[in-house]
C-alpha cells in the first residue's frame, strides 16, 4: 500500500503500531529468560503510539524532546525474514530490527510529506521512537547473537 493522503498515512501508522504490539507480545512468550518483560514493555509502548495516533492530541507532542540517536547499522547487514510463529530468539531479534527500521523510514517519509509543523513533529517523534527500539534490538543482537558466534 502506498498511502497518498494524511488519513491514509495515519491509518497505515495505526496498523503498523498494532502489528508491532502483537509481534512484541508474541516475542515476550518466546524470549530468553529475563527478556520477556522488555518485549511486553515494547508491546505497551507500541499500543501507546497506536492510541496517540487514534486520538491525535497534538498538545502532548509539544513537550517531546528530540535527541541524537546512534545507529549501529547492524540492520544493513541483516536480511529481511518473514514472520513465523516458530521464530527462535535470533530470528525474533532480526525480525524486530528490520521491522523497526521499516517503521522508522515510513515515519520519516510521512514527515517529509507534511506541511503542517505539528503533524511533521508527530511523525518525526514516531520515527525517533522506532529508532530507539531499533537501537535496543541491535544492541541485544550484538550482545546475544554476534558475541556468541565469535571464536
What is the full per-residue pLDDT of the chain (151 aa) written as tens digits? Answer: 455 677 787 888 899 899 999 988 988 888 777 778 888 988 998 898 899 889 877 677 777 788 888 888 898 889 998 887 778 888 888 998 998 999 999 999 989 988 888 888 888 988 998 899 899 989 989 988 887 765 5
147, three cell numbers:
558475541
CATH level 2 (architecture), domain 6-62+74-149:
Up-down Bundle (1.20)
DSSP calls for 5-41: SHHHHHHHHHHHHHHHHHHHHHHHHHSPTTTHHHHHH
pTM above 0.85, yes or no: no
Predicted pLDDT of residue 3: 53
CB 108 within 8 A of CB 46: no
What local confidence, expressed as pLDDT, does residue 43 receive?
Answer: 92
Domain boundary assignment for the chain: 6-62+74-149
Amino acid at each position: 500500500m502506498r498511502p497518498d493522503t494524511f488519513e491514509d498515512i495515519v491509518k497505515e501508522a495505526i496498523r503498523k503500531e498494532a502489528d508491532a504490539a502483537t509481534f512484541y507480545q508474541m516475542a515476550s512468550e518466546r524470549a530468553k529468560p529475563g527478556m520477556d518483560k522488555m518485549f511486553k514493555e515494547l508491546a505497551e509502548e507500541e499500543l501507546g503510539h497506536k492510541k496517540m495516533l487514534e486520538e491525535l492530541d497534538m498538545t502532548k507532542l509539544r513537550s517531546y524532546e528530540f535527541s541524537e540517536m546512534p545507529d549501529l547499522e547492524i540492520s544493513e547487514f541483516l536480511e529481511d525474514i518473514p514472520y513465523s510463529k516458530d521464530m527462535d530468539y535470533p530470528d525474533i531479534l532480526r525480525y524486530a530490527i528490520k521491522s523497526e527500521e521499516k517503521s522508522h523510514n515510513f515515519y520519516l517519509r510521512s514527515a517529509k510529506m507534511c506541511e503542517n509543523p505539528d503533524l511533521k513533529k508527530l511523525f518525526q517523534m514516531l520515527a525517533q521512537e522506532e529508532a530507539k527500539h531499533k537501537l535496543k534490538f541491535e544492541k541485544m543482537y550484538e550482545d546475544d547473537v554476534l558475541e556468541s558466534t565469535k571464536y
